[in-house]
């Protein structure tokens, strides 16, 4: 007699007698729950320690996107401003800024103060991923999941640690949605209304935070409907909607009063439509061949070697196999098991939809190395994609079948481990870049420079590091007006008596600055610091298009 039938016979609600430790799948594991939790904790602490070491050594180096979030945290800590969006655009929330603001207030502005919250978000991601894998699969596989997520390739560590807007928090939020939806659908929680409310709040926060997570939100919503359709017509649905409204309140409030041109959907599509179109072959290669290994942690810093590209096509094949496996299993299962399989299937579908969406964008063809950050969430789907292989490799059967099933999983782990080693080897170079950035800040303060023009990737970084004692305005490579995400900084430079120019060397920007100042005929003092050149004209020399 099934668990469900026994529960019904004794008058208990369906599935309430079940716990994650006694399901059919989990009986097959070699790990019991307590041993699995201990092993997962050890692996998780290893991943956290590796990332903490990177942060303390200045890797990965900070940039002006992260510093823009830092400026928001600084303004919040000072009570000057309470932004709801990343400065310079009307979408992508500022959760990272609000998390970092108390630390910035207590210890001053620095990348470390921004990355302590993101490191904690990564820790939450590990805990949630372990619990989701344990609920959907087995304790032993949940340990393997944490082991894979403990590895840290260059692109994945940047996604997890750099507070550049949305990426560190979207992964734990997506996992939380699936975990709550599965628990509710499987009747594994008695506190149902608080769980529905929590699901709604997390969904709202995700929508405010970053629309990168929409495929995962849609898939988790489908799981919730499959498992709890009747309840959602009553109080549970109302509580879920109220929770969503609370989580998304900043986004909703803005769009209710903003002009159409400043509404989040319009701004989002404008920002994603400014890039020149890319040929389809470039998109396919950048999305499926290069982007997937980069986004899921198989590649070295800033490049993918040919031997690391195997994962793209293999992932697609495994996703199709996994989808068929879960569909077949769901068709034969009773209610709680059907929800379990549906959740795993939804994870696979969300990953594939995210990948297709990315491959359709011009960014996949033009800048696959940097734009692979848009695939950061696919890592959430990897356990569901490889579970059928793990199951086949760990069940009794012919040795050839077990080896054939285990080989791709072993190759995935080995490639991710190699990428982690390559990142560790790159850490000293990253640390040197961080020292150069710190050296520039120190030189500007020593020289008494308080206002200057520079390119995008240097501007807000200096402003944040100095708590805006030094202010800057952004110019393009030909000294045209650039992207000033926080206009008051630009306005302060425009009003300065004799702003300096700061240029990374070598760079087209540096050559353009040198030509412009030479043409102006004004005496200029030039100071060199490692990686940069500081030009200090005796009188004001405005950029050519601003003069």
pLDDT, one tens digit for every residue, the chain (547 residues)? 443 444 443 333 333 333 344 444 444 444 578 899 999 999 999 999 999 999 999 999 999 999 999 999 999 999 999 999 999 988 899 999 999 999 999 999 999 999 999 999 999 999 999 999 999 999 999 999 999 999 999 999 999 999 988 899 999 999 999 999 999 999 988 899 999 999 999 999 999 999 999 999 999 999 999 999 999 999 999 999 999 999 999 999 999 998 888 888 887 777 665 566 788 888 888 889 999 999 999 999 988 888 899 999 999 999 999 999 999 999 998 888 999 999 999 999 999 999 999 998 888 888 888 888 999 999 999 999 999 999 999 999 899 999 999 999 999 999 999 999 999 999 999 999 999 999 999 999 999 999 999 999 999 999 999 999 999 999 999 999 999 999 999 999 999 999 999 999 999 999 999 999 999 999 999 999 999 999 999 999 999 977 5
Task: Examine the domain organization and report whether 402 and 457 are in the same domain.
Answer: no
User: Does 437 reside within a domain?
Assistant: no
Alpha helices in 395-507 (DSSP H): 399-447, 456-465, 487-494
Q: Is residue 496 part of a domain?
A: yes
Inside any domain, residue 498: yes
As to burial, measured by CB atoms within 10 angstroms (0-12 exposed, 13-18 middle, 19+ buried), residue 317 is exposed
Cα(144)–Cα(384) distance, integer angstroms? 12
Q: Which of 378, 393, 426 is the last residue of a domain?
A: 426
Residues 395 and 492 occupy one common structural domain: no
Shared domain check, 207 and 295: yes
Tell whether 181 and 306 lie within a shared domain.
Answer: yes
pTM, two decimals, is 0.92
Hey, which residues does 474 pair with through a beta bridge? 454
Give SS3 for 145. helix
- For residue 284, being part of any structural domain is answered with yes
Range of the domain at 343: 3-426
Q: Check residue 276 and give its pLDDT.
A: 67
> Do 402 and 471 belong together in one domain?
no
Q: Do 34 and 117 have their domain in common?
A: yes
Cα–Cα nearest to 524, from 544, 499, 547: 499
CA angle 100/101/103 to nearest 5° reads 70
Domain count, the chain: 2
Q: Alpha-carbon Rg of the chain, whole angstroms?
A: 26
End-to-end CA distance of the chain: 84
């Amino acid at each position: 007699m099934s668990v469900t039938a026994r529960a019904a016979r004794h008058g208990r609600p369906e599935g309430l007698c079940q716990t994650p430790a006694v399901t059919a799948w989990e009986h097959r594991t070699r790990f019991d729950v307590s041993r699995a939790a201990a092993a997962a904790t050890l692996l998780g602490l290893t991943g956290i320690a590796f990332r903490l070491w990177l942060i303390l050594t200045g890797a990965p180096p900070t940039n002006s996107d992260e510093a823009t979030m830092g400026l928001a945290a600084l303004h919040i800590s000072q009570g000057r401003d309470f932004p709801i969006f990343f400065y310079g655009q009307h979408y992508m929330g500022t959760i990272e800024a609000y998390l970092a603001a108390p630390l910035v207030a207590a210890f001053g502005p620095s990348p470390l103060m921004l990355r302590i919250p993101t490191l904690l978000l990564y820790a939450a991601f590990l805990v949630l991923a372990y619990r989701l894998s344990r609920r959907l699969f087995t304790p032993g596989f949940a340990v393997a999941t944490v082991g894979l997520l403990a590895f840290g390739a260059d692109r994945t560590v940047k996604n997890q640690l750099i507070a550049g807007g949305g990426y560190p928090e979207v992964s734990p939020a997506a996992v939380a949605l699936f975990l709550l939806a599965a628990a509710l659908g499987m009747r594994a929680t008695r506190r149902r209304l608080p769980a529905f409310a929590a699901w709604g709040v997390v969904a709202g926060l995700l929508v405010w935070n970053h629309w990168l997570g929409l495929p995962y939100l849609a898939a988790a919503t489908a799981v919730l409907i499959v498992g709890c359709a009747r309840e959602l017509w009553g109080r549970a649905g109302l509580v879920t909607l109220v929770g969503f409204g609370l989580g998304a309140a900043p986004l909703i409030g803005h769009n209710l009063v903003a002009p159409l041109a400043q509404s989040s959907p319009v701004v989002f599509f404008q920002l994603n439509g400014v890039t020149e179109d890319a040929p389809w072959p470039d998109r396919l290669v950048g999305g499926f061949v290069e982007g997937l290994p980069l986004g899921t942690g198989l590649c070295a810093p800033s490049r993918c070697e040919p031997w690391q590209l195997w994962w793209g096509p293999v992932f697609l094949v495994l996703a199709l196999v996994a989808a068929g496996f879960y569909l077949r299993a769901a068709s034969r299962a009773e209610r709680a098991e059907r929800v379990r399989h549906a959740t795993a299937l939804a994870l696979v579908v969300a990953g594939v939809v995210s990948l297709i969406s990315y491959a359709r964008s011009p960014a996949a063809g033009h800048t696959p190395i940097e734009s692979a950050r848009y695939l950061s969430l696919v890592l959430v789907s990897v356990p569901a994609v490889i579970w059928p292989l793990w199951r086949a490799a760990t069940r009794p059967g012919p040795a050839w079948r077990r080896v054939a099933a285990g080989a791709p999983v072993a190759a995935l782990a080995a490639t991710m481990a190699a990428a982690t080693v390559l990142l560790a080897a790159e850490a000293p170079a990253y640390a040197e870049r961080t020292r150069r950035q710190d050296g520039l800040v120190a030189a500007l303060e020593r020289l008494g420079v308080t206002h200057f023009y520079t390119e995008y990737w240097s501007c807000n970084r200096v402003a944040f590091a100095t708590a805006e004692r030094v202010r800057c305005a952004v110019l393009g490579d030909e000294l045209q007006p650039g992207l000033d995400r926080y206009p008051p900084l630009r306005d302060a430079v425009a009003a300065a008596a004799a702003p300096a120019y700061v240029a990374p060397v070598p760079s087209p920007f540096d050559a353009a600055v040198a030509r412009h100042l030479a043409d102006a005929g004004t005496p200029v003092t030039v100071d060199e610091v490692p990686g940069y050149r500081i030009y200090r004209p005796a009188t004001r020399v405005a950029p050519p298009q601003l003069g």
